């Protein structure tokens, strides 16, 4: 029988060397997944997500208590990948977005004679321009808030669509500052615009576009705040609300005042991705956001 004999001159030292090499190799091969985990932890909204094929579907139609969790659970992996790409695109634009907000604030200051709140918002924005990390976190926070709104409206507007009859929630006296899937909006902010933006002075009355029930009020402080009203087979969303005048569960008639408008950077409800004082208005039918102009009357009929 053939025997191979290997002489190891320093067996103990060699063993230590092998263990050390193996340890380094293991550490390096673990590094990549660890980075992925670190990145995932920047997106806490995803971490609550259950697998897409989980029991979420069966639970649709339950009461409202765990609805947020269900909304997050229907996110597919593909959806998450798309969102991460969008996040990166928005972060790449962060300085441009902040400079745009600064310009909006300065224009408002020039018109209003530089009030204290405008000056404070300007200071905050200048600080953000200097602080890259905080600016990134602020942009990502707004994106998450908008995605949460997207998920919520998709759940609210399930069921057979009724006759979508809506009126203008604010007077479109100045036209639109962003249309549905506005190319300029996507270019500026890096996300598709599934709504219309109607420029109105800060604090204008937002009226319910149709009879319905206030389904959701989300007050994110200086972040993106909004109100969702459920109608017969469809839903409407009113974004950048600065003050709310109704509560969840309230029955509202078409034309009832729901909230005060916002959108001025640095003010309640504005969030980071805003084109100045305006109402962001969405119409959701069967879980999909449609162009509100296809259902709104051609002329203003708001009281």
Which residues contact Zn ion (rule: CB under 5 A)? 195, 197, 280
* Least distance in angstroms from the C-beta of 169 to Zn ion: 13
* Least distance in angstroms from the C-beta of 268 to Zn ion: 17
Give 59 or 188: the residue with its C-beta nearer to Zn ion.
188
Instruction: Go through the chain and tell me how many residues it has.
Output: 303
The full DSSP string for 160-212 is ---------SS--TT--SB-TT-HHHHHHHSS---SEEE---TTPEEE-SSSE
Q: What is the DSSP letter of 95?
A: H
* Least distance in angstroms from the C-beta of 251 to Zn ion: 27
- Which residue's Cβ lies closest to Zn ion? 280
* Least distance in angstroms from the C-beta of 96 to Zn ion: 17
Rounded to whole angstroms, the Cα distance separating 242 from 253 reads 21
Q: How far is CA 172 from CA 38, 189, 263, 299, in A?
A: 45, 23, 15, 9
Backbone angles phi, psi at 252, to 5 degrees: -125, 150
Q: What is the sign of the dihedral through the CA atoms of 7, 9, 12 and 15?
A: negative
* Least distance in angstroms from the C-beta of 240 to Zn ion: 8
Give 101 or 197: the residue with its C-beta nearer to Zn ion.
197
Q: What is the sign of the dihedral through the CA atoms of 89, 95, 101 and 107?
A: negative
Which strand (E) or helix (H) includes residue 21? helix 11-41
Give 56 or 222: the residue with its C-beta nearer to Zn ion.
222
Give 77 or 181: the residue with its C-beta nearer to Zn ion.
181
Give 158 or 176: the residue with its C-beta nearer to Zn ion.
176
Give 197 or 256: the residue with its C-beta nearer to Zn ion.
197
* Least distance in angstroms from the C-beta of 239 to Zn ion: 6
Rounded to whole angstroms, the Cα distance separating 169 from 301 reads 10
């Amino acid at each position: 029988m053939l025997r191979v004999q290997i002489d190891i001159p320093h067996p103990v030292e060699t063993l230590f060397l092998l263990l050390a090499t193996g340890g380094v190799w293991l550490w390096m091969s673990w590094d990549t997944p660890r980075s992925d985990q670190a990145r995932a932890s920047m997106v806490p909204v995803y971490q609550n997500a259950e697998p897409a094929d989980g029991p979420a579907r069966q639970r649709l139609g339950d009461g409202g208590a765990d609805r947020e969790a269900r909304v997050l659970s229907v996110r597919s992996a593909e959806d998450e990948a798309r969102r991460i790409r969008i996040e990166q695109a928005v972060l790449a634009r962060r300085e441009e977005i902040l400079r745009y907000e600064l310009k909006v604030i300065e224009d408002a200051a020039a018109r209003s004679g530089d009030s204290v709140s405008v000056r404070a918002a300007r200071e905050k924005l200048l600080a953000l321009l200097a602080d890259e990390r905080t600016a990134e976190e602020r942009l990502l926070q707004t994106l998450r808030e908008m995605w949460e709104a997207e998920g919520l409206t998709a759940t609210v507007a399930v069921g057979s669509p009724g006759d979508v009859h809506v009126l203008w929630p604010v007077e479109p006296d100045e036209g639109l500052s962003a249309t549905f899937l506005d190319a300029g909006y996507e270019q500026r902010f890096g996300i598709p615009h599934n709504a219309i933006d109607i420029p109105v002075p800060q604090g204008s009355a937002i009226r319910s576009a149709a009879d319905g029930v206030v389904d959701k009020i989300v007050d994110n402080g200086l972040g993106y705040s909004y109100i969702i009203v459920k109608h017969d087979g469809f839903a409407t969303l009113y974004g950048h609300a600065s003050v709310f005048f109704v509560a969840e569960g309230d029955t509202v008639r078409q034309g009832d005042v729901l909230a005060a408008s916002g959108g001025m950077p640095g003010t309640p409800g504005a969030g980071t991705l805003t084109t100045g004082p305006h109402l962001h208005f969405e119409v959701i039918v069967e879980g999909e956001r449609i162009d509100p102009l296809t259902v709104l009357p051609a002329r203003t009929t708001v009281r």
